Amino acid sequence: DNKWSMTIMARNPDTGMAAWLYQMTPHDEWDYDGVNEMILADLSVKGKKRKTLVHFDRNGFAYTMDRITGELLVAEKFDPAVNWATHIDMKTGRPQVVSRYSTSQNGEDVNTTGICPAALGTKDQQPGSYSPKAKLFFMPTNHVCMDYEPFKVDYVAGNAYVGATLSMYPAPGGTHLGNFIAFDASKGKIVWSLPERFSVWSGVLSTAGDVVFYGTLEGHLKAVDPKDGSLLWKYKTASGVIGNTHSWTHKGKQYIGVLSGVGGWAGIGLAAGLTEDTAGLGAVGAYK
């Protein structure tokens, strides 16, 4: 299982001793990594108040856990396209891997096609937001699948060490590469979803004034209604937005800001001048 990679780890801050550990993707065969943020929220799960940790993983599953004990409470897909595993076994916590999409079972030098999500995950490092008022999580996501062919590679210090050729493309049933979603982590359900032409690679801000903000790779800063995702307004910035939306007050007035400038895994082709479809671990072909 490659313990303890792809793991949420809780430690006692006074002693440094491990309190509990949970491995999302044992023996990660798809480069999902699992380094996304963890959000703490007090939620009602199955009628019981719980102090939870909520984690939207690159593997496409959203995990709601008791942050005191590590008990897995909810684990559901936050993009219906996810297919590498059918579900999470709630007794063992293990994903039920589909053999067809297992790069390890298919073996070296075999191109496994149609894996969802792609290696950049259903969500990468772009942080989401929780609104205690709406009791919803707002997530910037990728709607991208891949072909993945592993090959043997020797480690050389200072050189890239990937050992796979990737191609990426939109998930079946559409041409869009991203969704902006509202998610109920107490039930593991998508409440609403807004398709975006490209991955939503910006951070999200939800405010007490019932507005949710996010940016797009096309350069728009958008404000939407948390209840149904309806667009309140948008502003075109000078470049693609991968920065984190933020807010501050000055002399009694609230302001919203975001850093504009294309980049990240999704924007690596434009940012680095790459042209081959398989460059950027397949991102160039998907986002060209």
Task: State phi, psi for 10 to the nearest 5 degrees.
Answer: -110, 135
- Concatenated DSSP letters for 47-95? TEEEEEEEEE-TTSEEEEEETTT--EEEEEESSTT--SEEEE-TTT--E
User: Closest by alpha carbon to 186, among 81, 75, 89?
Assistant: 75
For tokens 């958008």, what's the residue?
222
Lookup: tokens for 47: 């009628």
What are the residues whose beta carbons fall under 8 Å from the beta carbon of 15, sequence distance 6 or more? none
Query: Which among 1, 28, 31, 124 is annotated as catalytic?
Result: 31
In the 8-state DSSP scheme, what is residue 259? -
Distances (CA, A) of 156 to 100, 159, 278: 32, 6, 21
CA distance 44 to 64: 11
Q: Is position 31 annotated as part of the catalytic site?
A: yes
Q: Length of the chain, please?
A: 288
CA distance 271 to 288: 12
CA distance 94 to 8: 14
In the 8-state DSSP scheme, what is residue 14? T
CA distance 105 to 233: 48
Could you list the active site residues? 31
